[in-house]
Structure 1
Amino acid sequence: MTVRTAIHAVPLTATIGAELHGVSLAEVAVDDALFAELRTLLLRHKVLFVRDQDITRAEHVALAERFGPLEDHPVLGGDPDHPGLVRIYKDLDSAPEHYENAYHCDATWRVDPPMGAVLRCVETPPVGGDTIWVNMVEAYRRLPRSVKSRIASLRARHSIEASFGAAMTPEKRRDLHERFPDAEHPVVRTHPDTGEEILFVNSFTTHLVNYHTPDNVRFGADYAPGASELLNYLMRQASIPEYQVRWRWTENSFAIWDNRCTQHYAVQDYWPAVRKMERAGIIGDRPF
C-alpha cells in the first residue's frame, strides 16, 4: 500500500539534505500530522530546506518550539519580542566576524548541546553567503576500521572561551568561562532517536581529555602532538565534499537541521554586502 504524504521532499545529495515543496511552515507549526511528517523527514535527511516562507517571527518560534524549548545565546543578540530567536546580522555597521566560517555543531560548549535549529534568511547578499551542512553519521561510517577502534572510548573538551571568547578582553573571557565552563563529550556519540553513531568533534573542540594512557603514549611525542594530530584528522572529515550539501539562500528561505548529527559552515564570501539571518535554537540533551 502506498502511503500518502503531504510534504514533497526532493533529496539534494546522496547523503544529506532535502528541499521541501508544497508545505507552509506556518501550517506545520499548528498541525500535528504535518509536524510528525516533517520530523520524520528531518531524521532521514538531517537538514531540510524550504523556500518562499513569508511567515511571522511568532510562527517561526512556534515551529521551532514543536521540537522543544528554545535556548538563548550568551554572545549573539536576540529578538527582544521573541525569546529564543537569535539575530545573526552581518551588516555594514559591524566589522566582519569569523565565528561561523568554520565547520561546527552549534553550542557543543554546552553540557546539553542544542537538538537542532530553524534558521531563516531575512536578507541575503546578491551573490555569496551560502551555508554548507555535513552528515557526520556518514563521516563516522566511512572512517577506517582502525581509526574507529582507536577513538571508540575517547572523550573531548569543547569550549566557548576558546572560540567566541578569543576576541574578548581577558576579564570578559574569564567571565564567559565562569558562566559556561568547558563541556566534555564523547568523540563518538549515539543519536538518541535513530541509534546512529556520529563523529562528534568540531571547531569548538580543544583537545582529547583521556588520550594519555599507556596504550596510546610511550613518549611525550605520542601525546603532544600525537593527540592533537588525531583530533585534527577527525575534525577535517567535515570538509570532505561527499558528506556535504550546499544551500543558496534567498529571502524567506528556511533551513531546519538536526544539530546532533550534522555540522555546518556559513561561507563569508560576501563582505561588504549584507547578510541577515534569524535562528531559533532548540535545547537538546547530553550526548552519550
Structure 2
Amino acid sequence: MHIRQLTPAIGAEISGIHLGEAARSAERFAEIRSALLKHRVLFFRGQDITRAEHVAFARCFGPLEDHPVVGSDPDHPGLVRIYRSDNPHSYENVYHCDGLWRPNPAMGAVLRCIECPEIGGDTIWVNMVKAYEELPDYVKDQIANLRAKASIEHSFGAVMTPEARARLVAEHPAAEHPVVRTHPETGEKVLFVGAGFTSHFVNWSTPDNVRHGIDKSPGASLLLNYLTSRASIPEYQVRWSWKPGDIVVWDNRSTQHYACNDYFPAPRKMERAGIVGDIPY
C-alpha cells in the first residue's frame, strides 16, 4: 500500500490495495483507518468492486445509515444512490458536513463513482480542524461555548410541498450541536457549523454579546456567516476530479465537502455508504 499526500492540509491518494480485500483483512483495514485519521480524506483510483464489497468495506467502520429523502438501494441497505442525469438542481453544491441535521451526524462515508462527466463534477473537501486552528484567539474565545441548530428543512425540505416539509421536520426535528466539537478519536477541536444545514446560534443572546436588541440578529448572523465562510479558504482544501471506479473515504467529523454542480446535462452517478456517527461534544 502506497500513500501519496496531496496537499499540505488535507488528502492522500492510496494505491496498491483493493478495498474488497481490505474489508477482509483486519491489518489492511487498520492501515487505512490510521491514514484516514491523519489525512482526513483518502482517494482510491480504479477500484473494481461490487456493491456488496462497497457496503462490506464501509461497515468495517461501523453501522450504515439510511437517508430519509434519498433512500437506499433496496438490495443493499445503507447504500444511497446519488444519481444526477435529468435535474440541474443539486443539494451538494454547498459546503456541508453530512447529516449535520442529525443528533449524531455521520462518522464518515465511502463514495464510489459509477459514471461521471468528462469535464466537471469535481468534489472539494475541507480540513475544518485547520479552519478552527487558524481563527483569531478572540473569535475562539467568543465561540467556545456557543451552540447552533442544524436542520434538514431549509435544504431538502425547501423544494417540498408545505405538507411534505412539515412531515419531514416532524420526523427529523432540528438538532443542536456545539459550534466547536471535539474529535472523539484525535481530541482535535473542529469548527462544526456549515452553510448547508446550520441555521442559527441558540445561546447568543447573553449580556456578553447583546447590549441592545439590534445587536442580537446582526451580530449573530454576521459571526455565523464568517464561520461558515472558513470552509471556502483554498489553503484548507483538496479537489478531486472523478473517474469511473474511483472511491473516496472521508472523516465527516473533521471535514466538509462541496460537489461542484457544473456538468448538467451530462450524467453523474455516485453511490455512497454513510457510517453512523456519535453525538458531538
Q: The TM-score by the shorter chain falls in which range?
A: over 0.9
Tell me which residue corresponds to 2:170.
Answer: 178
Alignment of 1:79-98 (within 5 A): 79-92=73-86, 95-98=87-90
Tell me which residue corresponds to 2:4.
Answer: 10
- Cα distance in structure 2, aligned partners of 1:133 and 1:222: 34
Identity across aligned pairs (percent)? 65
Q: Deviation of residue 36 (structure 1)?
A: 0.3
- Paired residues, what number? 280
Q: TM-score, normalised by structure 2?
A: 0.99
Deviation per CA, 1:119-148, whole angstroms, max 9, x where unpaired? 000001010000000000000000001100
Tell me which residue corresponds to 2:15.
Answer: 21
Alignment of 1:70-109 (within 5 A): 70-92=64-86, 95-109=87-101
Aligned mate of 2:205, from 182, 206, 212: 212
Q: Classify the secondary structure of the residue corresponding to 1:77.
A: coil
Q: For residue 162 of structure 2, what is the amino acid of its counterpart?
A: P
Q: Unaligned regions of 5+ residues in structure 2, if any?
A: none
Task: Tell whether the 8 Å contact from 1:113 to 1:286 is kept in structure 2 after alignment.
Answer: yes
Q: Classify the secondary structure of the residue corresponding to 1:113.
A: coil
Q: Classify the secondary structure of the residue corresponding to 1:97.
A: coil
Alignment of 1:1-288 (within 5 A): 7-92=1-86, 95-202=87-194, 203-288=196-281
Tell me which residue corresponds to 1:4.
Answer: none
- Cα distance in structure 2, aligned partners of 1:141 and 1:69: 31
Root mean square deviation of aligned Cα: 0.6
- Cα distance in structure 2, aligned partners of 1:252 and 1:222: 51
Task: Tell whether the 8 Å contact from 1:77 to 1:88 is kept in structure 2 after alignment.
Answer: no
Q: Classify the secondary structure of the residue corresponding to 1:71.
A: coil
Deviation per CA, 1:137-178, whole angstroms, max 9, x where unpaired? 000000001100000000000000121101111100100000
Q: For residue 21 of structure 2, what is the amino acid of its counterpart?
A: E
Q: Classify the secondary structure of the residue corresponding to 2:270.
A: strand
Q: Classify the secondary structure of the residue corresponding to 2:97.
A: coil
Q: Deviation of residue 76 (structure 1)?
A: 1.1
- Cα distance in structure 1, aligned partners of 2:209 and 2:148: 15
Q: Deviation of residue 77 (structure 1)?
A: 3.5
Q: Classify the secondary structure of the residue corresponding to 2:177.
A: strand
Deviation per CA, 1:182-226, whole angstroms, max 9, x where unpaired? 000000000000000000000200000000001100012211111
- Cα distance in structure 1, aligned partners of 2:102 and 2:69: 13
- Cα distance in structure 2, aligned partners of 1:179 and 1:63: 30
Q: Deviation of residue 237 (structure 1)?
A: 0.1
- Cα distance in structure 2, aligned partners of 1:98 and 1:88: 10
Q: TM-score, normalised by structure 1?
A: 0.96
Q: For residue 87 of structure 1, what is the amino acid of its counterpart?
A: R
Q: Unaligned regions of 5+ residues in structure 1, if any?
A: 1-6
- Cα distance in structure 2, aligned partners of 1:67 and 1:211: 36
Task: Tell whether the 8 Å contact from 1:163 to 1:204 is kept in structure 2 after alignment.
Answer: yes
- Cα distance in structure 2, aligned partners of 1:32 and 1:64: 13
